[in-house]
Amino acid sequence: MKKSNDYSGFIIALVFFALILSSLVLFNREHDKESVAENRMLSQFPKIEDLNPMSVSEYRKELSAWFEDNLGLRDQYLTLSGILKYNLLHRAKTSKVEIGRDCFLYLADEGNLELETSKSAEFMEKLPEYAKVQQEISNKLKLQGIDYVFMIAPGKPAIYPENISGSDHIVTDTIGDAMYDYLTDNTDVHVYWPKDILLAAKDNEAGEALYLKTDTHWTTYGRNIAYRDMIDTMNSWGFTDAKPADVRFYESEDPYIGDLSNMMGPVTWTGKWLEEEDFLDWEVAAPKARVIDQGEEYDRFHEMLLRKNVYNPDLCAMFHNDSVPEKRVLICGDSMVGLCILPELAECFSDITFIWSYRIDQDFIDFVQPDIVISEFGERELKLRLEAIKGF
């Protein structure tokens, strides 16, 4: 019998060897590099000086994460995997994104799809503890002559639960409701929680969505509703006497690709994204506030941010406005304010300083000398961050 000259096994082995070798040769050596395919920063090499006998296991995990994150061509492989998963299985390449109904995308990480109080027993048990800390923060600020606002930005699943796939989700009580109710009933902390006004505006005549389909954040229309209500609410508390700024909406020339769509990546061989939604952009009609982005005060601000190890100092900001009575505001929070409504808020106060932080620091207060402090949490962050907040 004639022996077959079948080299297929050899060729397959050679291809695998070439792929492995290329990943090692092209290994990322750049510090603080971002993964475009996953929309996140790659893991850093763990510091050897931090190693001690009690942390060997944790160090090993960090070392493994660094190696896996920085393999060459990783983004390209993830993109290919995403295309195959979406077209063959109609799934996202990452378990952190859920493809919902009507082209809605949802963050499927950090407890974002489990905001209902019925799924949050541990959070509910700790409400008295969280409320006590917020009361202590309010009291401490009051002794310094500062008004305090605890703001909760509703999560997308709290406003649009019906488009979550997998089961029949309905609008119901979420952890934001529980936090608001408990603080209102058991403390004198002023809480701003715009869920009801957003739900009331959900079926608006203009047909405008309140949250972006491809993103975790509210639309310009949704956040403007919350902004105007926030100013009206603070006026009713006597914290200020401001008039919400007029905003002009207009259709953006470019389609919008949100943070969740970025995590999904391209879903076709031609590089098409899952959904490039039309985007209603905005601008303040007659802006008076200006960004402080240079000078001695700006330099001192960034020196403090670096010293306090604040998350991404470049996302923190200061505004000044000469056209309104003096009222200084410090906001410690996340992107629901920091990337969304700061320019609008800046039209209402003489000075606004935003710091991307879930905790209030006395150094922040000493620097800003605020009349009002706003602590803002995106709803899912209540579960993630409140445990670590012990006052300031």
| Burial label, 339 (beta-carbon count in 10 A; 0-12, 13-18, 19+) | middle
Would you tell me how many other CB atoms lie within 10 Å of the CB of residue 309? 8
**Close Cβ partners of 284 (under 8 Å, ≥ 6 residues apart):** 245, 246, 247, 248, 343, 344, 347
pLDDT value of position 16: 66
pLDDT value of position 348: 96
| Tens digit of each residue's pLDDT, the chain (392 residues) | 445 556 677 777 776 676 676 767 777 777 777 765 555 677 777 776 555 555 677 777 777 777 777 777 777 667 777 677 676 766 777 788 888 888 889 999 888 999 999 999 999 999 999 999 999 999 999 999 999 999 999 999 999 999 998 767 778 999 999 999 999 999 999 999 999 999 999 987 777 899 999 999 999 999 999 999 999 999 999 999 999 999 999 988 887 888 888 887 777 666 666 666 778 888 999 999 999 999 999 999 999 999 998 988 889 999 999 999 999 999 999 999 988 899 999 999 999 999 999 999 999 999 999 999 999 999 999 999 999 998 88
Q: Where are the domains of the chain?
A: 23-72, 105-388
**Rg (Cα) of the chain, in Å, rounded?**
24
pLDDT value of position 308: 93
pTM of the predicted protein model: 0.81
pLDDT value of position 51: 55
Helix or strand (DSSP H, E) at 80: helix 74-89
pLDDT value of position 190: 98
CA 250/CA 279 separation, integer angstroms: 9
pLDDT value of position 278: 77
pLDDT value of position 58: 75
How far is C-alpha 206 from the geometric centre of its chain's CA atoms? Answer: 27
pLDDT value of position 270: 63
Kindly state the DSSP code that residue 265 receives in the 8-state scheme. Answer: -
Task: Annotate 287-352 with DSSP letters as a single string.
Answer: ---EE--SSHHHHHHHHHHHHTT-S-GGG-EEEE-TTS---EEEEEE-HHHHTTTHHHHTTTSSEE
CB 120 within 8 A of CB 385: no
pLDDT value of position 272: 63
